[in-house]
Amino acid sequence: MRLGWGCQEGLVVGGPEQRLRLVALGGIMSRVSVPCHVKGTVALQVGDVRTSHGRPGVLVIDVTFPSVAPFELQEITFKNYYTAFLSIRVRQHTSMHTPAKWVTCLRDHCLMPNPHSEEGAQDYVSLFKHQMLCDMARVLELRLILRQPSPLWLSFTVEELQIYQQGPKSPSMTFPKWLSHPVPCEQPVPLLEQMWALTEMIRASHTSARIGRFDVDGCYDLNLLSYT
Amino acid sequence: MSQEESDISLIIAQIVQKLKGSNLYAQLERQAWASLQRPEIKLESLKEDIKEFFKISGLFPLPSHPAAPPEHLKEPLVYMRKAQGSWEKRILKSLNSMCTELSIPLARKRPVGEQKELLNKWNEMGTDEPDLSLFRPVYAPKDFLEVLINLRNPNYENGDSLSFRTHLGLIQVPLKVKDIPELKECFIELGLNTGQLGIDDSTQVPPELFENEHVRIGQKVLAEQDSAAAQQYVRQGSPTALRAELWALILNISSQPEDILYYEQLKTNVIQHDLLVDSLIYKDVKLTASNDDYYFVFEDYLYQVLLCFSRDTSVLSHFAYNSASPPKSYIRGKLGLEEYAVFYPPNGKSNVIASSIAPLCFLYHEPSKLYQIFREMYVRFFFRLHSISSHPSGIVSLCLLFETLLQTYLPQLFYHLREIGAQPLRISFKWMVRAFSGYLATDQLLLLWDRILGYNSLEILAVLAAAVFAFRAVNLMEVTSLAAAEAVLADLSTLKVMPLLQIFLFATVT
């Protein structure tokens, strides 16, 4: 019996096979949060801010890492708030005594497919090293350039910004051979077998709460409904 | 365990829970036993290997971002969550005040004599005529519509000045809805060149052209128990004789002995405890059944299913993806103590919807099977009609889709109705919120619900509502008041839904 599942296309850039290969090569990588200082948003606007009507459609957020040495960036996560497009520029440490230059590592990444409507407006987003246009080693500073071309929104920004660097690798976690052969989507059967084995283990180890009972020891004599 | 790992474990546990007792579970078991014989699989590391594999392969993506709190999965937009919360509070207040005004407890244990009486009367609860005049429904559809009309995004330009995005309808939130080209792509099987039940099985069309072959394919799908194929198949409509089985296959319902036992357990729960909401259920069923020539025969079934439904705690699991939350209370005398916190009613749903069960009674005659089908349809589709969310099949999106289709493709009609004070949504809301149950002829309604299952979406309800307005546009252009517009659209029982949908989507000059 085939289940009525939609086989979801890779939500990860590069698709499931590529991601699998990347990890199989490098082992499992954990991530460590990097403390950062997020400067206030600066609006880029033509003309005098006081006299021009209309809202700025471009904002810039600078992110510095005051107490951290140049590091390799692994992941950026944030919560979107009505930003439509995101570009990121990075300033990296260079070994010679040349001033570090700004390089664009992400260009016009789309967060809202339709800037006039709510889709994607308040989503949580992760951006990974492999999505960037340049390598992210020895990061000194980041500059996030937010764009929202639609005049319908009163404000836009990104929130809960977190930067992660590569954590200690766990060398023991390399895949056994039978798993690292990418399983093609048309053959879900072996995967289901594995799923079952896992479910048995979970069932054995986890006792769930009382299923089906709505009362407490036979009593369902209630106060009024709570508002909290 | 890291947060991500525990998320995956939770998801797997949920999937296991859902699979248990199903046919698929037994098949998985058999195949798993067979493959565990393979030498390369090490049991000790199996759990960790599979978890890592899931995480990395992305073949089973997490439903939400690891940083997202659970409320974000229920509903990503904060202002919608807040609106749903306020609406729920109103409902709770209404229930509480009913409780105090009528001096009836929310729940009470039935004395043994009363339990026996109810058990004897179980199959004929319709013959009862309790005095329900003091009970009023928790809310009326028009109250809910008012809440939706007043929804505002605080970050949105809600000014009075007209702009290119001014929406002339009642819904004022900028959700993404499909336009006709996108709908055509989405509902491609409803196109003019594809055979449909509801069009190509009419008496003038020789059955050799489409119907016979379609029935044959349906039988094959059932023989192979192919759920995905069944879902694809019913997009062109389901033959009457095969519909009950096809829907059960799509919804993954198979009546195992455990399911019948579960239903009996629910029945016992109903017998033992009397709930305030039971009276509301009685009232709703009486209204639904007595007003309808087709549904009155099912009155007794409706009581049984709804009363059992309200005791079913497994329904609570759907609140993970429903923007609503179940009402909570405490055992008397134990206010604030979490061990004595319970949900009320046990399934968390205080609104009642007898109308969405009634059409199912035509297909399923065995109470526990009818119950399972209804419950599954409710937690997959119909709950979205009663809560405020940004989901494309949620009632807010359906209302906006309806209004946008009308405003874009029938601008003269839309403008005229607006001018005479007859905003189209005020008329079509009640159709959509009940999925047209009670408005269409039963065979037409079932053809429509075939497509809901086939496309796994409620958007077709909004398209049909717009198509009905398009069909009666000539008459509507001549009316001069809301009451007259309502009169033109009062009787939908003669409508044939598939031709209406097909013409609106595929044969209208845009």
Q: What does the pLDDT read at residue A29?
A: 55
Mean pLDDT of B409-428: 95
User: Per DSSP, what are the bridge partners of residue B329?
Assistant: B342
The answer to whether B256 and B229 are in contact (CB under 8 A) is no
pLDDT tens column, B136-190: 777 888 899 999 999 999 999 877 677 777 788 999 999 999 999 999 999 999 9
pLDDT at A209: 35
Asked if A222 lies within 8 A of B46 by C-beta distance, the reply is no
DSSP notation for B385-450:
GSS----TTSHHHHHHHHHHHHHHH-HHHHHHHHHTT--HHHHHHHHHHTTTTTTS-HHHHHHHHH
> What is the pLDDT, as a whole number, of residue A192?
62
- pLDDT, position A53: 66
Q: What is the rounded distance in angstroms from the CA atom of residue B369 to the CA atom of residue B103?
A: 37
Give the lowest-confidence range in A92-96, A109-113, A124-128, B146-150. Answer: A92-96
The reply to whether residue B332 touches residue A222, judged by beta carbons under 8 angstroms, is yes
Interface probe, candidates A1, A21, A32, A55, chain B, greatest B C-beta count within 10 A:
A1
Residue B280 has pLDDT above 70, yes or no: yes
Asked whether the beta carbons of B64 and B4 are under 8 A apart, the reply is no
Task: Fill in the DSSP letter of residue B169.
Answer: S
pLDDT greater than 80 at residue B397: yes
**Which tops the pLDDT comparison, B313 or B509?**
B313
pLDDT digits (tens, 9 = 90+) for A149-174: 998 899 999 999 999 988 776 554 44
Which pair of tokens denotes residue A193? Answer: 């077998």
**B456: phi > 0 → left, psi -120 to 50 → alpha, else beta; which?**
left
Question: Lowest-pLDDT range, A104-118, B75-89, B341-355?
Answer: B341-355
| CA distance, residue B503 to nearest chain A CA (Å) | 28
**Smallest Cβ distance to A152: which of B38, B46, B156?**
B156
Taking 3-state DSSP, the helix, strand and coil percentages for chain A, each rounded to the nearest 5, stand at 15, 30, 50
> How many angstroms separate the CA atoms of A10 and B467, rounded?
36
List the strands of the sheet with A31-34, edge to edge.
Answer: A31-34, A157-166, A73-81, A124-128
What are the chain A neighbours of B224 within 8 Å (beta carbons)?
1
The residue among A80 and B32 whose pLDDT is bigger is A80
Contacts B58 to A, Cβ<8 Å = 10-12, 15-16, 19-20
Q: Which one is predicted more confidently, B245 or A32?
A: B245
Interface of A with B in 2-61 (CB under 8 A): 2-5, 8, 10-12, 15-16, 19-20, 23, 28, 30
Q: At what angle do helices B141-149 and B424-433 cross, to 10 degrees?
A: 120
Helical ranges in B224-256 per DSSP H: 227-233, 240-250
pLDDT at A176: 52
**Distance between CA atoms of residues B438 and B151, nearest Å:** 28
- CA nearest to A138, candidates A158, A160, A166: A166
Average pLDDT over residues B74-95: 91
Query: What length is written for chain B?
Result: 510
- Which amino acid would we find at residue B239? P
Q: B62: pLDDT confidence band, cut at 50, 70 and 90?
A: low
- What pLDDT is stored for residue B153 in this prediction? 93
pTM of the full structure: 0.82
Q: Do A3 and B106 touch (CB under 8 A)?
A: no
Q: Give the tokens for residue A190.
A: 């072996």
| Whether B344 contacts A225, CB under 8 Å | yes
Among A8-12, A168-172, B32-36, B429-433, top mean pLDDT goes to: B429-433
As to burial, measured by CB atoms within 10 angstroms (0-12 exposed, 13-18 middle, 19+ buried), residue B334 is: middle
Beta strand B341-343 pairing with B328-330:
antiparallel
At A27 the pLDDT is 42
| A153 close to B (CB below 8 A) | yes
pLDDT for residue A228: 64
- Encode burial over B380-413: b for 16+ CB neighbours within 10 A, e otherwise: bbbbbbbbbbbbbbbbbbbbbbbbbbbbebbeeb
A98 pLDDT tier (thresholds 50, 70, 90): confident
Of all residues in chain B, the percent with pLDDT exceeding 70 is: 88
Q: Inspect the interface and report whether the beta carbons of A16 and B390 lie closer than 8 Å.
A: no
Q: Is A224 on the interface with B (CB under 8 A)?
A: yes
Within the 172-191 window of chain A, which residues sit less than 8 Å (CB to CB) from chain B? Answer: 173, 175-179, 182-183, 185, 189-191
Among chain B residues, the shortest Cα distance to A203 is held by B13
Residues of B in contact with A18 (CB under 8 A): none
Residue A186 has pLDDT above 80, yes or no: no
- Partners of A162 on chain B (C-beta within 8 Å) are 67
Inform me whether the pLDDT recorded for B83 exceeds 70. yes
B113 pLDDT higher than 60: yes
Q: Torsions phi, psi of B477, nearest 5? A: -65, -20
**pLDDT at residue B18 in the model:** 66
On the CB side of A36, CA atoms within 13 Å amount to 26
Going by pLDDT thresholds of 50, 70 and 90, the confidence category of residue B470 is very high
B19 versus A113: which is more confidently predicted?
A113
With tokens 């005095």, the residue in question is B131
3-state secondary structure B96-114: HHHHHHCCCCCEEECCHHH
Cβ-count burial A141-166 (b if 16+ within 10 Å, e if not): bbbbbbbbebebbeebbbeebbbbbb
Name the residue of chain A whose CA is nearest to B40's CA.
A178
Express as a percent the part of chain B with pLDDT over 90: 46
pLDDT at A198 over 90: no
Q: From the CB of residue B326, how many other CB atoms can be counted at a distance below 10 Å?
A: 20
Q: Confidence band (pLDDT; 50, 70, 90) for B128?
A: confident
Cβ separation of A222 and B106 shorter than 8 Å? yes
Q: In Å, how far from its chain's centre is CA B195?
A: 27
Q: What is the pLDDT of residue A151?
A: 87
Residue found under tokens 């007595």 = B290
Tokens, residue A83: 């930003």
Tens of pLDDT along B20-31?
656 666 667 777
Q: Where are the beta strands (DSSP E) in A111-174?
A: 124-128, 139-147, 157-166
Report d(CA B46, CA B446) in Å as an integer. Answer: 46
- The pLDDT mean for chain B works out to 86
Which pLDDT score is estimated for A40? Answer: 85
Residue B33: predicted pLDDT: 73
| Token reading at B5 | 């790992």
**Dist. CA B158–CA B173, nearest whole Å:** 9
Q: Rounded to whole angstroms, how far apart are CA atoms B212 and B439? A: 30
- What pLDDT is attached to residue A219? 74
What is the pLDDT at residue A107? Answer: 94
CB-CB under 8 Å, A216 with B47: no
CA dist., res. B67 & res. B333, Å (int):
38
Chosen for mutation from A114, A201, A225, A226 (greatest number of chain B CBs closer than 10 Å) is A225
Q: Compute the nearest-CA separation of B493 from chain A (Å).
A: 33
Q: Model confidence at A19, in pLDDT bands (50, 70, 90)?
A: very low
- How confident is the prediction for chain A on average, in pLDDT? 74
Structure tokens at B24: 């698929």
Mean pLDDT over residues B329-356, rounded? 78
pLDDT(A141) > 50: yes
State ipTM.
0.79
pLDDT tens column, B307-340: 889 888 888 888 888 888 888 888 887 777 777 7
Residue of A nearest to B23 (CA): A1
- Closest alpha carbon to A108 in A61, A155, A58: A58
User: For residue B338, what is the nearest residue in chain A, using CA coordinates?
Assistant: A216
For the ranges B46-50, B119-123, B288-292, B451-455, which has the lowest average pLDDT?
A: B46-50
- pLDDT greater than 80 at residue A77: yes
Q: Which of B469, B336, B460 is nearest to B408 (CA)?
A: B469
Strands B273-275 and A58-64: unpaired
For the cut 70, the answer to whether the pLDDT of residue B453 exceeds it is yes
Residue of B nearest to A205 (CA): B13
Strand, helix or coil for residue A143 = strand
For the segment B15-43, the average pLDDT, to the nearest whole number, is 68
Minimum mean pLDDT among A196-210, B242-256, B266-280, B411-425: which range?
A196-210
